[in-house]
Structure 1
Amino acid sequence: MDFPFYDAPNTATIICCHIIDDGKPILYVSHDEDDGMWQFLCGSTHDTDEARLVSLKEAFDLDNSVGVLKDMPCGYYAERKTQDDNWLVKKR
């Protein structure tokens, strides 16, 4: 699948250690309003030290289904219960 995001593939994003280290699925995606940063999380609560910095392409490569969120505006988030569910997009 081609990289679908408008941001550059090397755009820095936040991802939780549970996804990177433990293979948990991405269940929550935020496109922050204040700085435009993307966050890819497992849906659990997190401490700051559990955040990792990866490129947007690395996050996409871990789970191509996040590509459908490419048009999600800043100030919105998307969540789902399982990796097989559809994303539910909401304004923060």
Structure 2
Amino acid sequence: MEIQVLEGALVEVPTNAVTGMDRRAFGEFIGPQGELASYALGWTTGSDPHVARLSVGIGAGNPGGGTFHAVIFENEGGHAFSLTDDPFERVPQGGPDLTADEARAHEDLPFVWWVTDRILERDRRAWWLRHWLLRTTCVQNLEVFERREPILFVRHDADDGVWQFIGASDADGGTGKTGHLHHAVDEDQSLIDILDLPPGGSATRTGAGSPWNGHF
């Protein structure tokens, strides 16, 4: 049986900040032996400190069941986790909220971290979260930057890792603007489908709302 990461609801609630948005993505995990877990990922634009949140629940109704809570933070160009006492979300497969010390002592903590890694690899909302966390930048042609054209071409450069978002206008001779990649996804959530483009990859579409055709 293959590992399955099943994306659930994405809940978005405006915050008190003018441009702030609290996002929470839910889902279910099924392991190769039928192991079950459920999870929630969350981040808030404009938050300080700039960290994301995670809850993973296992063993609902069983004596060893519980919900593990952690923060996700930028670490040396990647991400790292730290268990926390502060509960984030309730999830269906979880049990009692575990403190950081209780989670560290739990025999299934290695399994929970393994599940978390698979979730971050496979849940498209997790890709969005990661770009927000790392403040990934992208170069956009002027029409895209000013939201006068939809993004029709995306390239993740192999040489320098730069992301490029291009509209219908020819960007080669135009003016490029640098912005945060996650803001582009804020405006057009269909971009989450191509956020796993590897360096050297690109994707195109014929218009806003059309499916992406990826080249990997």
- After TM superposition, the score normalised by the length of structure 2 is 0.38
Question: Identical aligned pairs, as a percentage?
Answer: 29
User: For structure 1, which runs of at least 5 residues remain unmatched after alignment?
Assistant: none
The 1-side partners of 2:215 and 2:140 are apart by 20
- Considering fraction of residues, name the structure with more strand: 2
The 2-side partners of 1:84 and 1:23 are apart by 15
Q: Which residue of 2 aligns with 1:11?
A: 136
Deviations along 1:17-65, whole A, 9 cap, x unmatched?
1012252101111111111111111032124551100011111112111
Pair 1:34 & 2:159 matched:
yes
The 1-side partners of 2:184 and 2:213 are apart by 19
Q: Displaced runs of 4+ in structure 1, greater than 4 A?
A: none
User: For structure 2, which runs of at least 5 residues remain unmatched after alignment?
Assistant: 1-9, 11-22, 24-124
Of 164, 176, 181 in structure 2, the residue corresponding to residue 51 of structure 1 is 176
The 2-side partners of 1:55 and 1:22 are apart by 14
Contact 2:157 2:199 in 1 (8 A): yes
- After TM superposition, the score normalised by the length of structure 1 is 0.83
CA 1:14–1:4 in structure 2 vs 1: closer, same or farther (change >3 Å)?
farther
Q: Which residue of 1 aligns with 2:26?
A: none
Amino acid at match of 1:23: R
Cα RMSD of the aligned pairs, angstroms, is 2.0
Residue 5 of structure 1 aligns to a residue in which SS? Answer: helix
Residue 158 of structure 2 aligns to a residue in which SS? Answer: coil
Pair 1:81 & 2:203 matched:
no
Residue 13 of structure 1 aligns to a residue in which SS? Answer: strand
Count of residues in correspondence between the two structures: 91
Higher RCO (Cα < 8 Å, 6 or more apart): 1
